[in-house]
Chain A
Amino acid sequence: MTVIGYMKRSALEGVLGDISDKLEVIAPLPSGDKGAVELRRFEKGAQVSIGPVKPMLPLKTIFLPPVEQIFRFSKSENETTVTASTPITRDRVVFGALGCDIAALALIDEVFLREPVDEAYRERRTRTTIVALACEGQGPECFCASVGIDPVRPGGADVVMIPVKDGFIVETITKKGEQLGTMLQGALRDPTGPQKKTARSFTSTSRSDVDLSAPAGGWSAVWESEAWEDASARCIGCGICTVVCPTCHCFDVHDERHGNGGERFRKWDSCMAVNFTMMAHGENPRPQHRARVRQRYMHKLVYFPENHGAVACVGCGRCAVACPNRTGIGEVADRMREREEDSNE
């Protein structure tokens, strides 16, 4: 980690504009009229949103787009030509990424970068430089600190920008980050002593008391937990919790025909959907809400840790905020650990 300078807040859009001549720039931009924020391509003249608002759709959208073409095909007589789609055409920089979202990429990497490697995902990953915005906590829902994430200097970031009065202290972390750093040079000044001090002592309000650990004994210890009862009774199966979750990565594959050709694309899917596991003949191993709700939490809290050594939750709190019925994972994990005798039945 190297402090490379101080950048004024007012210089930010200009700097991003200059970078956008060379790289594709993605940044949190205002969306709609209700103060919402969205990660989208930055065009010159746009105003970046920096403030305590999380984009509702997480950073994963930049690496696993909601709908993504896999290939196009064209047919003649007896031949079919398959042309793989190009995931991205330019190197990219994501500005203003949050610690929770960046940490989630490391979890998705576990799945998409293991053999056989998902080439489209890898290409997006390797050709994107991630600039983190040190996060002081975006709201009461945040609990990334509970799952071992450093919201100020998150692992996985190439550059970190730490807000100080009227600007940021810019630190580079990786080689990729240093390269980007050279593009920022023109807008940087030497930081003052107080600015450095603020950056050093920058802290987050993210809660550190949420416990997502599963009880000992693996899946069988919680298979019949009461936790699934309450959470599934009010659940409507909309799958918003999986849409907004920065670690959820399930997809469906569809074909579409257009004339003599067509395309295959993948599209986000959710274990909360009835059709997720519905097989031909109408057989479904998870026919009720309860089984699907259980799958979601078991995957995050039991199966993923078993396979990859970490819970598949980065504590962003989006699921609780976006669920029409406000079911959050922390609350479900608490219930899951309750033993029969101390449950409030």
Chain B
Amino acid sequence: MFHAIRTPGRMRDQLKDMQTRLREIAAAFLERPDALFFIGWEMTPDEKETRPFFARNPRQAQRLVWNDLCHPNPASYLPRLRDREGMIGVAVKGCDARALRELIRANQIERKNLFVLGIPCTGLVDPNTGAIASRCAECQYPVDFDYDETLGPMETPALTVERSAPDLDAMSLQQRRAFWKQELDKCIRCDACRKICYGCYCPECIFEMSDPKWATNRGDLADKIFYHAVRAYHLAGRCVGCDECARACPMGVRLDLLNRSLRDHAKEMFSFDGAGITDEKPLLRTFSTEDPDPFFGGDE
């Protein structure tokens, strides 16, 4: 059952075939004696969206779906499952595969404990607008990732989608400051953005520590800005652009824009464009005397 608003009929049939194969592959995997579960997607009870689903036996594999609403990133569950004994199956589309690649590189999960099914994605639909999700325009697949199986050639869909407004780079500093103040003030510090993020796998986040205490608990605008600024820097060069934070946020904070500017700046200033795609070292783990330093007035 699809609610693909923009996906044309011919492609819908193709998606349906892929879903059938996904179920077959997951069911076969779950027959293995060492299989724990297979993480993919199922329809939500109202059938309007999908949500992550942990299939635990071949019969449950029939609940798995693949369609253009499969936004959740199944790879983000892996760090907390790292100590489980047995094999975990996981379905990944492009952005999920980038996250998975980074997790393996950061030793958050071992490749040998995973069964990875790659799904060539043709761009997902934003359930609110019915249009192709804006992040899909910038999609890139990791080139040399070793999938156990795939549902077709793992190629970047190369969509031409307009970048979602507003264009922060076109704003003046004052406008931008006002924009972020207004955006971040909506935040209620539920930390869903952090908890859903594949990259926020630190066992003890600095925002949860009481000793030493890095952040106050008052929850005013300064706290919110501090939280988002720190999280942004911790994810610079690691954010793979799956936009799960923005999807999770109950207050509609435009975290997608924050992360996008961070990726843009990493590219502009340090020619870094590698999160989850290449073997380049993570941005914050490299330093070069050639790095531009506009802040201290160095040569840019």
Whether both chains belong to one complex is answered with: yes
Query: A67–B218 contact, CB under 8 A?
Result: yes
Among B54, B216, B219, B247, contact of A234 (Cβ-Cβ < 8 Å): B54
Interface flag for A331 (CB, 8 Å): yes
Interface flag for A240 (CB, 8 Å): yes
Assembly CA distance A256 to B219 (angstroms): 12
Q: What residues of chain B lie closer than 8 Å to A57, measured between beta carbons?
A: 188
Interface flag for A281 (CB, 8 Å): no
Assembly CA distance A327 to B44 (angstroms): 8
Distance in angstroms from B284 CB to nearest chain A CB is 24
Q: Beta-carbon contacts of A204-236 to B below 8 Å, as 1s and 0s?
A: 000000000000000000000000001001101
Query: B252–A234 contact, CB under 8 A?
Result: no
Assembly CA distance A32 to B250 (angstroms): 13
* Residues A240 and B45 in contact in the complex (CB < 8 Å), given A234-B53, A274-B208: no
Q: Beta-carbon contacts of A306-345 to B below 8 Å, as 1s and 0s?
A: 0000000000000010101111100100000000000011
Assembly CA distance A265 to B218 (angstroms): 8
Q: What residues of chain B lie closer than 8 Å to A36, measured between beta carbons?
A: 252
Distance in angstroms from B25 CB to nearest chain A CB is 20
Distance in angstroms from A73 CB to nearest chain B CB is 16
Query: A239–B49 contact, CB under 8 A?
Result: no
Interface flag for B120 (CB, 8 Å): no
Interface flag for B195 (CB, 8 Å): yes
Among B186, B188, B217, B248, contact of A324 (Cβ-Cβ < 8 Å): B248
* Residues A67 and B190 in contact in the complex (CB < 8 Å), given A234-B51, A236-B196, A324-B196: no
Chain A interface residue count, Cβ-Cβ cutoff 8 angstroms: 37
Distance in angstroms from B252 CB to nearest chain A CB is 6
Binding site for B on A (CB under 8 A): 31-32, 34, 36, 56-57, 66-67, 140-141, 230, 233-234, 236-240, 243-244, 252, 254, 256, 265, 267, 274-275, 320, 322, 324-328, 331, 344-345
Query: B45–A244 contact, CB under 8 A?
Result: no
Q: What residues of chain A lie closer than 8 Å to B60, measured between beta carbons?
A: 344
Assembly CA distance A243 to B247 (angstroms): 17
Can you name the residue of chain A whose Cβ is closest to the Cβ of B196?
Answer: A236
Interface flag for B278 (CB, 8 Å): no
Distance in angstroms from B228 CB to nearest chain A CB is 16
